[in-house]
Structure 1
């Protein structure tokens, strides 16, 4: 999820997903990148034709590079079933996302394939380096290889497009692997305790949900500030540090007000664009969103301006906040620390509807791989994203994540886990996130090759606005000018 260069200066801090698992390195055979050899440098792997499709590359070794995510933690802790099935060994490297991007870029540029399997972030890797990834349709169509169980149609459609495609609506560069999404986290115990008083004072039902508006969210937060200080310090908190997290937090409001970063924003977010055209942050809707966001942060916990998603999650667990927008994957940690006290809903709506930022990523295959290496890598990504593996990830003590397959959400034991007591606490968010992934509700930042620079421009100017150095109008117009210059330079991969 870290989409910006600011994380380079924070390399000593645990990432959002690392915090979610608590101990990433404890349960798994995770290897440092320097310890990995390049299989591609020693020729192709051996292939045994005929017989079991899953055993044809036995004896091969694959290197998988990934951000330290929930599903990777779970797979690393229990990769043995794949090795037993295929005879293929897997070495897993987990790094902070900027480091993953740098190593992948170097590997692709070298013409080699030190990493055959790649966690291909849509913005840092897929959009700028898609030519370095295999179009997976060629492997799905190969009769000598196993097919994706349930077909690619079993992946949630908005996620398949957002995480797996770029510009071409047919090519598939990755299979959806994780699906972090921003939703409304709220203290159910406090909302129950104060429901009648809030409803009387505010004149509306304060129960969180997609029918609540951002203005109502503001009023609820303000009510808690004034009336419930004995139970909670602040009504709301936000991930408003000068960081990628600030862009994510603001974008939910921007889209709900009808603003966007570029024309055809849903298309640019879902399939991507090489040249998205002029930035539209100077529109009336975008400026209205910025004004509201500035006003909302003025009544939020003041520490919000120092928090990314990790700091915000910790504040919620510490009982400091009545509610906040944050990534749904924090449900598992919430249940560990304050069990039964937090519930979840889609984010509030604005004049143009509701939007919930999606931050998922897919797994792809290095196009520099040799033919048999490529086949072995295909076996791994098919297995890693299969319904049975996603179910095992949900149950894992080392990881978790949430499924990217429609069929997994339909399994009786998974549906049962949507209610407490839950053996899969991330499923407590399922009613909210399944609504958030609808095409009209999913929030998709622009999938363009130069997004990283644009992201930095956005959170830099937003931070100036929140500290009073710039008005909302000035912040939006300055960001537009900066993004237009970035886009005009183009991108050469």
Structure 2
């Protein structure tokens, strides 16, 4: 009755839990893995399910206890909710009699291991952290439709049903192409918000307003042009911080995330019907739209913004940016909302959170959430036992416990948890659940008009690399914004034209 947590490669200790996000490293070649699945449904992918024995089963036991004696394997990225569950999985074992081994890896390594497991048919992992872009979209046939378990009267009901999950998250993290099937339950939900030194904004508010001609305090009316002006003002008028803004602009997936906020806010997108491609996904998304004038305008502004940002931005991913902000080096930044807990530990009472500014088209905030899924490669009873874990791990009670965890804890993906009185109270200081200090900002960001969803396509890992490679060239001065967008679009068109099998 234990949880084994395998550290990320190269580490002898378990890394600090952080919000889940995509690392754009292509997984195992899909040519060999999915040729059969593409031709004949799941037949070529789900071989014999012969790698592991089926779950222990007692038909006379109560539903939660019928699989007592079974051991499940859960593979996850090192995320906040997984850290919390790993530290306190005992209640699940006491409830079910099921042991859970938890393996945590860096995301690209996780995608490789899951792909190999599916290709071999061994079914080593019963529960999978199904990143929508590197795992769910490429290998959708290998995941069970969770509706079968929810509709089975012999299995415990999912508290609140699928309808209790935030709708955009259920689509983005839980579905692929088919709006009916549910392949994963929303498990974490990191979303980018405007994080700022509220103490410094209060200190200089009147001076900034006089100099800039607008109220600098972040609000739903704030624009990216105003954000740029505020950044320059801090650069030129105070020594409280070294720079007004910082960004996660390393040549890395983080750069794609940071840039995408501006792309969408200027009316650009990666493909036509971007909201559908982001929410439900597509195998053939069509031609890339980065050549469009809206996309170029977004790139031009991003290039201009980074020229007044902390130069360290070009070396930072989300972790580096978060550390710089907590160290007092910058006055504000766009970053994942789940850094609120570490911000509060380093700068207690000094940080504020708001929805990202508006561009000419809208405000757009990158959503980086992921679901957990049941492998279709494992035997039937083992799938049912895995469903019990999904049911328990995403239940309101577990999400409430995770939110208050001292070792990790994520932000809830269920509407009902946000209505719990002590959760509502935690949105204000003093807060025992510091991630809730960013709750108002992320609720705004999750609205359909504001949410930013990267394309959920099987070949996204390669497209992601094309984007951050060309945007990095632009920031280095090696390509104009228009040239960078054209080059990225051309490469993406090559990738998508090849198709998802390869």
Q: TM-score, normalised by structure 2?
A: 0.91
1:187 aligns with 2:197: yes
CA gap 1:40/1:419 in 2 versus in 1, 3 angstroms: farther
Task: Note the C-alpha offset of 1:400.
Answer: 1.3
Distance, in Å, in 2 between the alignment partners of 1:94 and 1:13 is: 12
Residue 460 of structure 2 is matched in structure 1 by 451
Determine the C-alpha separation between the residues in 1 that align with 2:495 and 2:501: 13
The corresponding residue for 1:31 is none
Residue 395 of structure 1 corresponds to which residue in structure 2?
404
Structure 1 equivalent of residue 44 of structure 2: none
Secondary structure at 2:156 match in 1? coil
Aligned counterpart, 2:325? 316
1:121–1:220 CA distance, 2 compared to 1 (3 A): same
Alpha-carbon distance, 1:391 to partner: 0.4
Aligned partners of 2:452, 2:9: CA distance in 1, in Å?
A: 27
Q: Distance in 2 between matches of 1:18 and 1:233?
A: 29
SS in 2 for 1:430: helix
Shift of 1:20: 4.6
Kindly tell me the number of residue pairs found equivalent between the two proteins. 466
In structure 2, the residue matched to 1:136 is 146
1:11, distance to aligned residue in structure 2 (A): 6.0
Alpha-carbon distance, 1:415 to partner? 0.4
Q: Give the distance between the partners of 1:409 and 1:310, measured in 2 at CA.
A: 27
Supply the distance in 2 between the matched residues of 1:481 and 1:403 (Cα, whole angstroms): 39
CA distance in 1, matches of 2:221, 2:67: 52
For residue 160 of structure 2, the aligned residue among 147, 150, 158 is 150
Q: 2:51·2:121 contact (CA, 8 Å) conserved in 1?
A: no
Contact kept? 1:19, 1:310, Cα under 8 Å: no
What CA distance in whole angstroms lies between the structure 1 residues aligned with 2:54 and 2:249? Answer: 48
Gaps of 5+ in 1: 1-9, 23-38
Distance in 2 separating the partners of 1:215 and 1:161: 32
The residue number in structure 1 matching 2:345 is 336
- 1:425 equivalent in alignment to 2:427: no
* 2:217 equivalent among 202, 207, 229: 207
Moved over 4 A (4+): 10-15
Aligned match for 2:451, one of 439, 442, 446: 442
Please give the TM-score of this superposition, normalised by the length of structure 1. Answer: 0.92
Q: Who is 1:245 aligned against? A: 254
1:353-376 superposed Cα distances (whole Å, 9 cap, x missing partner): 100000000000110111110110
Structure 2: unaligned runs, 5 residues or longer: 1-7, 20-48
Q: Secondary structure at the match of 2:448?
A: coil
Aligned to 1:290: 299
Return the match for 2:105 from 86, 95, 117. Answer: 95
Match of 2:116 in 1: 106
Q: CA deviation at 1:45?
A: 1.7
Q: What CA distance in whole angstroms lies between the structure 1 residues aligned with 2:296 and 2:18?
A: 38
| Distance in 1 separating the partners of 2:180 and 2:342 | 38
CA distance in 1, matches of 2:288, 2:305: 24
The one-character-per-residue Cα deviations of 1:16-69 (angstroms, maximum 9, x if unpaired) are x944569xxxxxxxxxxxxxxxx9634212211134110000000000000000
SS at match of 1:128: coil
Q: CA RMSD in A?
A: 1.7
Counterpart selection for 1:65 from 67, 75, 86: 75
Give secondary structure in 1 for the equivalent of 2:455. coil
Q: Are 1:48 and 2:32 counterparts? A: no
